[in-house]
Amino acid sequence: MKTPDELMFLKNKNALQHESEASMKGKTCVVTGATSGVGLEAVRALAKGGASIVMVVRNLAKGEEVKKELVERFGGSVDIVVADFSRLEDVRNAAKQILASTNKIDVLINCAGLHSTKATYTPEGFETVFCVNHLASFLFTELLLERLKESAPSRILQINSEGHRFNGLDIDDLDWKKRHYTGLRGYGASKTAQLLTVWEIDDRLKNTGVTINAMHPGDVKTRIGSNNGFLYRLFSKLVIQPSLRSPVISGKAIYYLVADPSLREVSGKFFHLTIEETPAKHALDRTMGKRIYEESLRLTGLVK
């Protein structure tokens, strides 16, 4: 009996994954959220493969620690850009700094992410999870697109989540002022919005030599959710974390998706680690996708 698309993630998480030994020497990779979890394993894998790294980090001290490790272990070039992705002005400044200092971008990986059990709001008035997980990565990608096109062939990878299946996206209530907020629904909404805009961006990248894909990085141990209260952290430590795997698998999967020659022209896809998968139906709604793309442009100030 064939496994329904909606349940393939249960099969894919235990499947044998692809790996790549392709070299990344001469490639420049921009990675957000690079100091812990999935992002940290991504920069380790990329540095091992010979890439030059631009890490976008919230905490400079942690960024310096990671840079020291990467240079000592693998050599190569590692630069740090500081930005808090709950502040879109920081995102704009980070993109401006990278464009001023980096002649080419071969790979952009958006790893920065957040989970919150309660609705909180950024200084600019956005629901924080929606801002960090979607608006910030959307704005950052859009601001770097021209440099990615100039550097083609190049690749964009959005670190998404099977959490997009939690649904919750309501384009008329993106700030959760009309509905009851829960952590799963808020997280699902942000990841659904990100996926929907991946398809829209992919359409606009046709014949540019730039690809964009999204992936679930596996059920792995990260610090996401550590910003929450004591009860959530205790639940995570005792119930969630013991069943999770090492994020090393995420780094290997990310490396495959951005480095392997077999994926050079693959775009507009969602992967569970390295296996292509069909997202939830609500994340394939192209009518909603066009609406959230236009709204994201407006909310980030890219159009008025």
Taking the C-alpha atoms of residue 286 and residue 267, their distance in angstroms, rounded to an integer, is: 16
Inter-residue contact 167 to 192 (CB < 8 Å): yes
Q: 187, 255, 256, 293: which one is catalytic?
A: 187
Number of other CB atoms surrounding residue 15 within 10 Å: 12
Tokens of 111: 């790893």
Residue 202 Cα distances to 35, 207, 276, angstroms: 28, 10, 16
DSSP character at residue 50: T
Of 108, 106, 128, residue with least CA distance to 118: 128
Contacting residues for 108 by C-beta, under 8 A, at least 6 apart: 29, 30, 140, 141, 144, 148, 154, 155, 156, 157
- Residue 188 sits at the vertex; the CA angle it makes with 182 and 194, to the nearest 5 degrees, is 140
Tokens of 88: 């879109």
Question: Based on the number of CB atoms within 10 Å of its own CB, is 21 exposed (0-12), middle (13-18) or buried (19 or more)?
Answer: exposed
Confirm whether 187 is a catalytic residue: yes
Annotated active-site positions, please? Answer: 187
